[in-house]
Structure 1
Amino acid sequence: MIRWSVSALFLVNGMLIGSWAPRIPVLMDRLDITEARAGLIVLALGLGSLCVMPLFGAMVARAGSARAVRLAAWLAAPSMIWISVAPTYWSVAAAVALFGGLAGGMDVAMNANAVAVERARGRAIMSSCHGFWSLGAFAGAGAGGWVIQQFGEVFHGVAVATVFALVLLWAQGRLVQDAPAPDAPRAPLRLPRSPLPWLLGVIALTAMIPEGAILDWAAVYLQREMGASIALAGWGFAACAATMAVMRFLGDGLRRQFGAVTTLRASTGVAMAGLALAGLSATPGPAIAGFALAGIGIANMVPIAFSAAGNVPGLAAGMGLSVVTMMGYSGILLAPGSIGFLAERIGLGVIYTGLAALLLIPLALSHLARTADFDAQRG
């Protein structure tokens, strides 16, 4: 049961993040803003997340991941409602910053809980947990554009909050309890001195920049540069999330069969091909296909980095994972804000093509992922 409860958290967190994707072009129209000003809103999301993530990392280390994830999740549940009713540019930016902080804090805590389940079961589950995240993101992004188009932003926000709350009610009492014993010695809450968690963070960072670029800008790319409708534009990220989900459900088996290093290298190559296809396409169909191919590659890069970080010896519980999670999510949350400024000058197609070259970095560092071979370590 603990396996499915933590998976449910990944599912609704993904749904929440996926529901954000089709809102960006809608907010641009409602607020009458350019890509550059929309980029500041996306930047607010990232800054909010990076400010709050370390707090929840410390809470995981002191009080356990189950308590931390419950707090973050309940606070994050109505996020889409806040964004829907915020009337001005700066109030929307503030609502988005709060959304980013709480969703990011939930992400740290639920990944730590997944590591606790791995240890309890003696078996890797991280890729499939992220598969549930991608499944939720697919549902949120794919249905979100249609719901907003048919019923409006506020209805969409209430619907997302309702589904989120119902799943959380079921899952919260079934999580693995990993709080330290009251008399257990407390490890110091300091940043890791070993370079390994930081280098794993670089892998997560460079893998999540393209994911963030697809999450935040694929809909804008398809709508504004290719003339797609809002409903079709939402399928840019939805296609990526769908293929990510499939590959993440296969990822734990692939990692056991081929090893983390080989899986990471193959995944990186496929992601590079998909980003290049999306960036070079002239019409929505091939671009969406490119995003889908990129999702196949990106799928297991991040879970491997997270699982490796969660099994670095000698660190307080949650601290190594918090470093890698924070670095990774700075890619998915901060970099897309800068993309908004670049997009006005060079276009999103050029940016997606350039992101393919960025993935040479995790390819070069892939040998560091061997600590993600969880089953091999135990053997």
Structure 2
Amino acid sequence: MQGAAAGRWAVAACFFVNGFLVGSWAPQIPLVASRFGLSETAIGLLILVFGIGAVLAMPACGYLISRLGSRPVLRVASILCALSFAGLAIAAEVWQLAIALALFGMVLGAMDVSMNANAVAVERGLQRAIMSSSHGFWSLGGFAGAGIGGLLIEQVGYALHAGLVVGFCLALVLLALPFLIAEERAIGGHGAEGARRGLPRNPLVYLTGVIALFCMLPEGAVLDWAALYLKQEMGAGIAEASLAYTAFSGTMAIMRFAGDGLRNRLGAVKTLRYSGMIATLGMLGAGLAPTPLIATFAFAFAGLGIANMVPIIFSAAGNQPGLSPGAGMSVVTTIGYSGILVAPSLVGFVAERTGFSLIFIAFSGMLAVVLLMARLVRSADGIRVETAG
């Protein structure tokens, strides 16, 4: 139990570092555009390269975790992840930047799968949920990386900012890595062998991936398009429009830190159902809102619901019967993140013809489907202790 308690904070540090690196990249993007004279389309393609790198690494990482366990994979991936951020500043040509982004995406994706798989191991060791608060640390890291990064770049420039990010993240992971715990290797011979031979055969893990996709697409849509929705279709100013995602991410971060307690009390299925109800109503309200203020409140309400949906689904993926945590996690994360790659351009294409209001209404329907499929995440309750009252 003591090892699992220390491992809980070690994996939380990994989630924070992963979020901090993603957040630190955000303020670098405008500078990349000016350094290389890139158009919005070119920047979009580079971001696509970053995402493709992450998605390609996820199945390979799941295979490695099934062979070696999450701890050694996370140790290597987190160190490489911290170091790879330097490549974004060192690149002197566009092709070098593309390679640096692909590598950065690959190690971020590997770290994502392995840290979620290790969080499942911690949940089993502690016999209670910690996945939601772990994702809360990711949100906190992203908030800190983006906020501090913008200030640092203004003061010291993009190159020194990258160096400071690498130094900070490397120091934090080196402090945390000795305390990571290893999952029990007796996961079940059939599951481990199946992971080695190829893709999992159990259709439930793929349905779980679809549920993750249906949760992650609305979350990504708010990030990419909420401000434009308020500005173009409701006439909000830039400052007012930016509050939509700020409110959404703020309520989501707060609820993620409260989510483990709710899940330990209610169970994964009930928590996902209640979360789905709130998320569906919030997203529907945002699509039907008559004013920017009401839409902002609706997005904030949706954030309360969406916050714990993905952590619950990831925990279910890591507790699939007869399947190693890494194998289940890699399938679900790959399906979820693959959709996010396609979604921004698809949403933009459709919104030009229908407007964003119908887009957010459609996403509320997608969240309602998750609500109806909530029983599929009951494997997430496999970590809970059976008590008699």
Does TM, normalized by the shorter one, top 0.5?
yes
Indicate the residue corresponding to 1:56 in structure 2.
61
| 8 Å contact kept, 1:46–1:334 | no
Aligned partners of 2:226 and 2:82: how far apart in 1?
25
2:197 corresponds to 1:187: no
| 8 Å contact kept, 1:49–1:97 | yes
Code of the residue aligned with 1:249 in structure 2: it is F
TM-score by length of 2: 0.82
2:316 corresponds to 1:308: yes
Q: CA deviation at 1:359?
A: 2.0
Q: CA deviation at 1:196?
A: 1.1
Aligned partners of 1:293 and 1:31: how far apart in 2?
40
Identity %: 50
Indicate the residue corresponding to 2:118 in structure 1.
113
Deviates more, 1:270-279 or 1:123-132: 270-279
Q: Which of residues 9, 21, 41 is equivalent to 1:16?
A: 21
Q: Secondary structure at the match of 1:178?
A: coil
Aligned partners of 2:163 and 2:103: how far apart in 1?
17
1:247-258 paired onto structure 2 within 5 Å:
247-258=255-266
| 8 Å contact kept, 1:271–1:296 | yes
Aligned partners of 2:363 and 2:122: how far apart in 1?
34
Indicate the residue corresponding to 2:158 in structure 1.
153
Aligned partners of 1:15 and 1:284: how far apart in 2?
30
Code of the residue aligned with 2:182 in structure 1: it is Q
Deviates more, 1:123-132 or 1:355-364: 355-364
Structure 1: segments with no counterpart, 5+ residues: none
For the structure 1 residues 28 and 64, does the alpha-carbon distance in structure 2 shift closer, same or farther, using more than 3 Å as the test? same
Indicate the residue corresponding to 1:170 in structure 2.
175
Q: Secondary structure at the match of 1:359?
A: helix
Q: Which of residues 89, 98, 103 is equivalent to 1:84?
A: 89
For the structure 1 residues 146 and 287, does the alpha-carbon distance in structure 2 shift closer, same or farther, using more than 3 Å as the test? farther
For the structure 1 residues 376 and 4, does the alpha-carbon distance in structure 2 shift closer, same or farther, using more than 3 Å as the test? closer
How many residues are aligned here? 375
Code of the residue aligned with 1:93 in structure 2: it is A
Q: Deviation digits for residues 289-327 of structure 1, max 9, x if unmatched?
A: 555433322211011111111111111342112211221
Code of the residue aligned with 1:200 in structure 2: it is T
Indicate the residue corresponding to 1:129 in structure 2.
134
TM-score by length of 1: 0.84
Q: Deviation digits for residues 97-137 of structure 1, max 9, x if unmatched?
A: 22211101001101111111111222221112112111112
Indicate the residue corresponding to 1:196 in structure 2.
204
For the structure 1 residues 180 and 337, does the alpha-carbon distance in structure 2 shift closer, same or farther, using more than 3 Å as the test? farther
Q: CA RMSD in A?
A: 3.4
Deviates more, 1:233-242 or 1:103-112: 233-242
Indicate the residue corresponding to 1:228 in structure 2.
238
Q: Which structure has the greater CA radius of gyration?
A: 2
For the structure 1 residues 179 and 118, does the alpha-carbon distance in structure 2 shift closer, same or farther, using more than 3 Å as the test? closer
For the structure 1 residues 14 and 192, does the alpha-carbon distance in structure 2 shift closer, same or farther, using more than 3 Å as the test? same
Aligned partners of 2:295 and 2:93: how far apart in 1?
33
Q: Secondary structure at the match of 1:177?
A: coil
Q: Which of residues 361, 368, 371 is equivalent to 1:363?
A: 371
Indicate the residue corresponding to 1:43 in structure 2.
48
Structure 2: segments with no counterpart, 5+ residues: 1-5
